[in-house]
Amino acid sequence: MTYKVFCSFGVVPDLAFGWFALTSLRATLTHCTYLLMLIYPLTVCRGNKLGSRGTEPATKITFGADPVAFIKTANFIYLLFCLSGMMFKDKVVLVTGGTGSFGSHIIHKLLEQKPKEVRIFSRDEEKQDRMRYDLNDLKNVRFVIGDVRDRSAVERVMRNVDVVFHAAALKQVPSCEVNAIEAVKTNILGAQNVIDAALHNDVKKVVSISTDKAVEPVNAMGMTKALQEKLMISANCYKGGKKTVFCCVRYGNVVGTRGSVVPLFKKQIAGNKPLTITHKGMTRFMLTLDDAVKLVFLAYENGIGGEIFVLKSPAHKVVDLAGVMLEELGAKNRKIVEAGIRPGEKMHETLISPTESLRTIEEKDFFRVLPQIAVPGIEKKYPKYLNKNMFRFSSDSARMMDKEEIKQMLKVSGWL
Is 115 buried (19+), middle (13-18) or exposed (0-12) by CB count in 10 A?
Answer: buried
Give residues with Cβ within 8 angstroms of 267, minimum separation 6.
Answer: none
Q: Which of 210, 220, 228 is nearest to 173 (CA)?
A: 220
Task: Give the angle subtended at the CA of 234 by the CAs of 303 and 247, to the nearest 5°.
Answer: 20
State the Cα–Cα distance between residues 351 and 61, nearest whole angstrom: 14
Average pLDDT, the chain: 84
Q: Give the model's pLDDT for residue 49.
A: 37
The answer to whether residue 26 scores a pLDDT higher than 60 is no
How do beta strands 245-251 and 205-211 pair?
parallel
State the Cα–Cα distance between residues 398 and 59, nearest whole angstrom: 9
DSSP string, 109-124: HHHTT--SEEEEEES-
Is 232 buried (19+), middle (13-18) or exposed (0-12) by CB count in 10 A?
Answer: buried
pLDDT band at 66 (very low <50, low <70, confident <90, very high): low
Domain ranges of the chain: 2-32, 56-412
> For 199-202, which contacts have Cβ atoms below 8 Å and span 24 or more sequence positions?
199/235, 199/239, 199/240, 199/242, 199/244, 200/155, 200/158, 201/155, 201/158, 201/159, 201/160, 201/161, 202/242, 202/243, 202/244
**Helix, strand, or coil here: 404?**
helix
The answer to whether residue 162 scores a pLDDT higher than 70 is yes
CB-CB neighbours of 172 under 10 Å: 14
Q: Which of 255, 254, 291 is nearest to 416 (CA)?
A: 255
Cβ contact 250:212 at 8 Å: yes
State the Cα–Cα distance between residues 188 and 114, nearest whole angstrom: 32
Task: Just list the catalytic residues.
Answer: 213
State the Cα–Cα distance between residues 26 and 21, nearest whole angstrom: 12
Is 345 buried (19+), middle (13-18) or exposed (0-12) by CB count in 10 A?
Answer: middle
**What mean pLDDT is predicted for residues 49-71?**
43
DSSP 170: -
CB-CB neighbours of 32 under 10 Å: 20
**What mean pLDDT is predicted for residues 29-38?**
48
Whether the model clears a pTM of 0.85, i.e. scores above it, the answer is no
Among the listed ranges 38-47, 60-69, 280-289, which one has the minimum average pLDDT value?
38-47
According to CATH, what is the number of the domain 56-412?
A: 3.40.50.720
The answer to whether residue 92 scores a pLDDT higher than 90 is yes
**What mean pLDDT is predicted for residues 279-289?**
95
Q: What is the pLDDT of residues 189-230, one digit of tens each?
A: 999 999 999 999 999 999 999 999 999 999 999 999 999 999
Amino acid (one-letter) located at 212: D
Cβ contact 365:65 at 8 Å: yes
State the Cα–Cα distance between residues 161 and 385, nearest whole angstrom: 33
The answer to whether residue 15 scores a pLDDT higher than 60 is no
Phi/psi for 55 (5° steps) reads -110, 10
Q: Is 102 left (phi over 0), alpha (psi -120 to 50) or beta?
A: alpha
